[in-house]
């Protein structure tokens, strides 16, 4: 169950601890059995689905749809950043070549998925802004997300024209703009995601703080 104190939604600490233990145990068991990395990732995430869903629903009920949407955006984009961190780790630390470094969920490391994902991020940010979210950090994140989507629009066009994935796009090494920056595509897109996600997370914290400040002690507000 979810405890609601004003507008702060907190899963019970004991249940979070149990969820963490189960998640770690499933990951360790799958790794011991030499399961593929995507299955290890799925098993590690599975125990968290119920408490996360409960937290989102509780946020919707107590703070309204906009903060719930922001919660989902912040959470999913943070997960996306972690996938890019894993990919860069595979390349820079484990020494895997680009075609073998696809993060945890390698089947999703395709141009169409990246394009759809970045479209979702920009659409969600615009929806939050249109929903009168007076949040400076969202305004900072919006142009960053728009540029990132432009990169993936170029990449999807290059893919459709050449039939090959892994093109440089605009600013990766060998890219269309002045031959790009001295950054491989995996490094560049990790930077893109970091600079896009940091203001999103700061803005989410600010939005939660603002809601708490508006709520009277002990009250639960919904829209």
- Quote the Cα angle for 52-54-57, to 5°: 110
What contacts 23, CB < 8 A, 6 or more positions away?
Answer: 43, 44, 45, 46, 47, 48
Asked whether 90 and 101 are in contact (CB, 8 A), the reply is yes
**What is the distance between the alpha carbons of residues 134 and 50, in angstroms, rounded to a whole number?**
31
Query: pLDDT-derived band of residue 2, with 50, 70 and 90 as boundaries?
Result: very low
Phi–psi pair at 90, nearest 5 degrees: -60, -40
**How buried is 219 (Cβ within 10 angstroms: 0-12 exposed, 13-18 middle, 19+ buried)?**
exposed
pLDDT value, residue 9: 52
pLDDT tens string 113-171: 999 999 999 999 999 999 866 899 999 999 999 999 999 999 999 999 999 888 999 99
**What is the distance between the alpha carbons of residues 62 and 81, in angstroms, rounded to a whole number?**
28
- Among the listed residues 125, 222, 169, the one whose alpha carbon sits nearest the alpha carbon of residue 214: 222
3-state secondary structure of 76: helix
pLDDT for 223 beyond 70: no
Q: Which residues pair with 115 in a beta bridge?
A: none
The reported pTM is: 0.83
pLDDT tens string 64-75: 899 999 999 999
3-state secondary structure of 195: helix
Specify the DSSP class assigned to residue 112: H
Phi–psi pair at 131, nearest 5 degrees: -80, 20
Retrieve residue 193's tokens. Answer: 């995601």
What contacts 154, CB < 8 A, 6 or more positions away?
Answer: 169, 170, 176
Residues found in the chain: 223
Q: How many CB atoms lie within 10 A of CB 19?
A: 17
Range with top average pLDDT, 18-27, 41-50, 110-119: 110-119
Domain ranges for the chain? 1-63, 64-223
Query: pLDDT-derived band of residue 11, with 50, 70 and 90 as boundaries?
Result: low
Q: What share of the chain is helix, strand, coil (3-state, %, to 5)?
A: 70, 5, 25
């Amino acid at each position: 169950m979810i405890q609601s104190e004003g507008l702060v939604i907190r899963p019970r600490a004991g249940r979070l601890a149990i969820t963490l233990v189960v998640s770690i145990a499933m990951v360790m068991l799958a790794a011991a059995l030499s399961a593929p990395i995507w299955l290890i990732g799925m098993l590690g995430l599975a125990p968290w689905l119920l408490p996360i869903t409960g937290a989102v629903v509780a946020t919707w009920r107590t703070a309204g749809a906009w903060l719930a949407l922001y919660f989902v955006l912040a959470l999913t984009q943070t997960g996306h950043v972690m996938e890019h961190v894993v990919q860069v780790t595979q390349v820079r630390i484990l020494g895997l070549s680009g075609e073998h470094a696809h993060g945890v969920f390698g089947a999703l490391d395709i141009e169409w998925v990246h394009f759809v994902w970045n479209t979702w991020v920009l659409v969600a940010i615009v929806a939050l802004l249109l929903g009168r979210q007076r949040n400076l950090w969202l305004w900072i994140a919006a142009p960053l997300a728009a540029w990132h989507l432009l990169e993936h629009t170029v990449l999807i066009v290059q893919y459709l024209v050449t039939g090959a994935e892994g093109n440089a796009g605009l600013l990766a090494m060998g890219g269309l703009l002045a031959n790009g920056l001295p950054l491989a595509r995996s490094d560049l897109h990790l930077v893109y995601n970091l600079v896009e996600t940091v203001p999103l997370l700061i803005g989410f914290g600010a939005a939660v703080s603002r809601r708490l400040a508006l709520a009277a002690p002990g009250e639960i507000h919904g829209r």
